[in-house]
Chains A and B, each alone.
Chain A
Amino acid sequence: AQTVTQSQPEMSVQEAETVTLSCTYDTSESNYYLFWYKQPPSRQMILVIRQEAYKQQNATENRFSVNFQKAAKSFSLKISDSQLGDTAMYFCARGSQGNLIFGKGTKLSVKP
């Protein structure tokens, strides 16, 4: 089975600190994308960041960056300068032709 695993069900971080969320995946495809989505409480899921598997350079979006290790099939998300608004469920997902396979999520709480 081609799965996505998030090993941290819950995490917490102090405001302004840095936190890293882990994700590993399994795939037999050579070309694919990886995504992190954020789902705030009672709100819709939104894209945080995406990474193309054939690109060596790690993607960055403002305070969000990834550490993509293709050989290890690892795709972690680093959130710098955490803000209260970052409190949410974070889902890692792997996709190819648009069918995304999601992990079970990590609940992140940012504490003041």
Chain B
Amino acid sequence: DTGVSQDPRHKITKRGQNVTFRCDPISEHNRLYWYRQTLGQGPEFLTYFQNEAQLEKSRLLSDRFSAERPKGSFSTLEIQRTEQGDSAMYLCASSPFVGTLGSPLHFGNGTRLTVT
């Protein structure tokens, strides 16, 4: 169990540029989540996948945001035409889905995005 891995750890970009983040979940976990955390706030849910299917998206996820999880393994989160308000920590988490509620989420270290 190597844990949830996120890349890059930090990303600085200029407003209007596109950025893409990657998340590698724990290998046997079939659920993968993306959250966004701004300073002084708790994580806000963005979207989650079960295997390759994107099952839920938050209203926070504007049309500039897109997430994919091809083949149900790693996931990417892309932000197009970045805005300064997109500056945040983007957290990925995974969990096993064993047919019951309450499987705990395992979080990665996050990708810190700064939009200048």
Contact = CB atoms under 8 A, between A and B. Distances in A.
Interface of A: 4, 31-33, 35, 37, 43-47, 50, 52, 91, 93, 95-105
Nearest to B103: A98
A44 B93 CA distance: 10
Contacts of A46: 107
A43 B109 contact: yes
Counting chain A CB atoms within 10 Å of each CB, the highest count among B41, B91, B105 belongs to B105
B103 to A, nearest CB: 7
B74 interface: no
Interface of B: 3-4, 31, 33, 40-45, 48, 56, 91, 95, 97, 101-105, 107-110
Contacts, number: 57
Q: Is the interface of B mostly helix, strand, loop or mixed?
A: loop
B3 to A, nearest CB: 8
Contacts of A33: 101-102
A98 B48 contact: yes
A102 B43 contact: yes
15 contacts: A33-B101, A37-B107, A43-B109, A44-B3, A44-B108, A46-B107, A95-B101, A99-B48, A100-B43, A100-B45, A102-B43, A102-B44, A103-B42, A104-B42, A105-B41
B105 A47 contact: yes
A4 to B, nearest CB: 8
